[in-house]
Amino acid sequence: MIYLKSEEEIELLRISNQLVAKTLAELAKHITPGISTLELDRIADEFIRDHGAVPSFLDYNGYPNSICTSVNEQIVHGIPSDKVFLKEGDIISIDCGAYINGFHGDSAYTFCVGEVDQQIVNLLKTTKESLYKGIEQAQEGHRTGDIGYAVQSYCEQRGYSVVREMVGHGLGREIHEAPEVPNYGRKGNGVMLKYGMVICIEPMINMGTRHIVFERDGWTTRTLDRKPSAHFEHAVAIRQGKADILSSFEYIEQVLGERAI
């Protein structure tokens, strides 16, 4: 079932997603060599609760933490740990959700830890750019395949590969709603986008092969060849013409300044 949101519901979703954006920006202040991913989880959990919300991911289908922290070759759903400390040259994707006023926010950003190899930085830039290419297609009358094609073609033309097993999704009173929003596809195929739909578009792009491995913890996914992977995510409301982006990277960019991707 696909739920079309009213204008009032979209504004409540904007509040949830702006809180997620501010949480990611708070984390950006602390992403430095030597910090553990579990400490980042603690910071995010405290920030979300201090703003009157609860973490969307905690206990979701048994997930044990408040954010997902995926380092280097990990694609998504990495579990924060007091044994994983960030090192100079790492990248870390942080996926975050917050629930307030009956609605969820959901967004992700891949951060550099200190100085990162330029080839890896290029992967991050391309993945982020592909997100906005997908968002350009997120308008009434288009289809999910138009979004997927835009992301896939942009990344593959630059020599990267697109993860197939995990996809974007609808967002609302549940953290994951219909429809699925793949990062690959054909123009004119897939679910028709209608005014009032709210979806998360989240390219997961690999430097090497698109094939992945599910780790034994039941959550973490990584690239088969252990080459780096990047992940960026926005929540958008479908309108006539240009999509309405409910989440934001602006707060992150204010923190990072010239270091922003």
Q: What is the pLDDT of residues 217-240, one digit of tens each?
A: 999 999 999 999 999 999 999 999
Report how many helices (DSSP H) and strands (DSSP E) the chain contains, helices first: 5, 14
* pLDDT of amino acid 251: 98
Residue-wise pLDDT for 180-213, tens only, equals 999 999 999 999 999 999 999 999 999 999 999 9
Q: Tens digit of pLDDT for each residue in 38-64?
A: 999 999 999 999 999 999 999 999 999
In a domain, 94, yes or no: yes
Average pLDDT of every residue of the chain:
98
| pLDDT tens digits for range 92-131 | 999 999 999 999 999 999 999 999 999 999 999 999 999 9
Q: The domain containing residue 132 runs over which residues?
A: 7-259
Residue 57 lies in a domain: yes
Residue 224 DSSP one-character state: T
Residue at 184 is within a domain: yes
pLDDT of the residue at 143: 98
**Residue 156 resides in a domain:** yes
Please name which of 237, 90, 81 lies closest in space to residue 170, comparing C-alpha atoms: 237
How far CA 162 is from CA of 149, 208, 212, 218, 229, in Å, comes to 11, 10, 11, 21, 10
DSSP code of residue 220: -
Evaluate whether residue 211 is within a structural domain.
yes
Residue 111 lies in a domain: yes
How far from chain centre, in Å, is Cα 75?
Answer: 11
Residue 1 lies in a domain: no
| CATH code for position 176 | 3.90.230.10
Q: Is residue 24 part of a domain?
A: yes
Closest CA to 215 of 226, 201, 203: 226
The DSSP string of 102-171 is TEEEEEEEEEE-SS--HHHHHHHHHHHHHHHHHHHT-STT-BHHHHHHHHHHHHHTTT-EE--SS-EEE-
Instruction: Give the pLDDT score at 127.
Output: 98
The count of domains in the chain is 1
CA distances from 78 to 17, 73, 92, 182, 255 (A): 21, 10, 10, 20, 24
